[in-house]
């Protein structure tokens, strides 16, 4: 008997075919229903896998609110604070950038018009600037709390563009509402 004989091709071929059949079964039973919502065998629905990956977001989302932009500067004395927020409809988008001369304490958060919905906070910290896109999780006011934690006066500049109705400024004094054309 010769031990240097190459292995038979038949077991390798059978193992390859078996692994391909198993991969195809997993693809049609689980992957396609869970990831793409395509369920040709009906097993994805029976197993509760349809749309498991979550809803797909369209690249285009029409907005019912008018597109607006706002650029505003605030002068903050030492330890002075303010809130500045925009009223947005659910799923409205706001592109923002803010910059201060020194680090400020901030909290980006939202408050729903429906008081039964809890306030949501998205980002908190102490830094000099930030930018990004905020998508409104519900209809309400969405924006920032800023506080100057330094010992000197500072200027903070906020630039936004997006889909909002009006803005509100809340300080120690009365709340101010600003309308946009």
pLDDT, one tens digit per residue, over 163-179 is 999 999 999 889 999 99
**In this predicted model, what pLDDT tens digit does every residue of 63-96 receive, in sequence order?**
888 899 999 999 999 999 999 999 999 999 999 9
Please spell the DSSP secondary structure of 109-168, one letter per residue.
Answer: EEEESSTTSPPEEEEEEEEEEEEEEEE-SSSEEEEEEEEE-SSS-EEEEEEEEEE-SEEE
Point out the least confidently predicted range of 116-120, 141-145, 154-158. 116-120
Look at the pTM and tell me if it is higher than 0.85: no
């Amino acid at each position: 008997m010769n031990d240097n004989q190459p292995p038979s091709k038949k077991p390798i071929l059978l193992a390859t075919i078996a692994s391909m059949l198993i991969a195809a079964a997993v693809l049609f039973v689980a992957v396609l229903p869970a990831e793409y919502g395509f369920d040709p065998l009906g097993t994805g629905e029976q197993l509760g896998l349809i749309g498991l990956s979550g809803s797909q977001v369209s690249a285009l989302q029409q907005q019912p609110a008018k597109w607006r932009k706002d650029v505003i500067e605030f002068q903050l004395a030492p330890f002075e604070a303010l809130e500045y927020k925009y009223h947005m409809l659910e799923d409205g988008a706001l592109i923002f950038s803010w910059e201060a001369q020194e680090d400020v304490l901030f909290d980006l958060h939202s408050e729903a018009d429906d008081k039964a919905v809890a306030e949501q906070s998205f980002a908190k910290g102490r830094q000099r600037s930030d930018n990004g896109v905020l998508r409104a999780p519900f209809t309400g006011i969405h924006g920032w709390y800023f506080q100057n934690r330094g010992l000197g006066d500072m200027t903070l500049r906020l630039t936004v563009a997006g889909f909002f109705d009006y803005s509100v400024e809340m300080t120690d004094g009365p709340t101010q509402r600003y309308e946009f054309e």
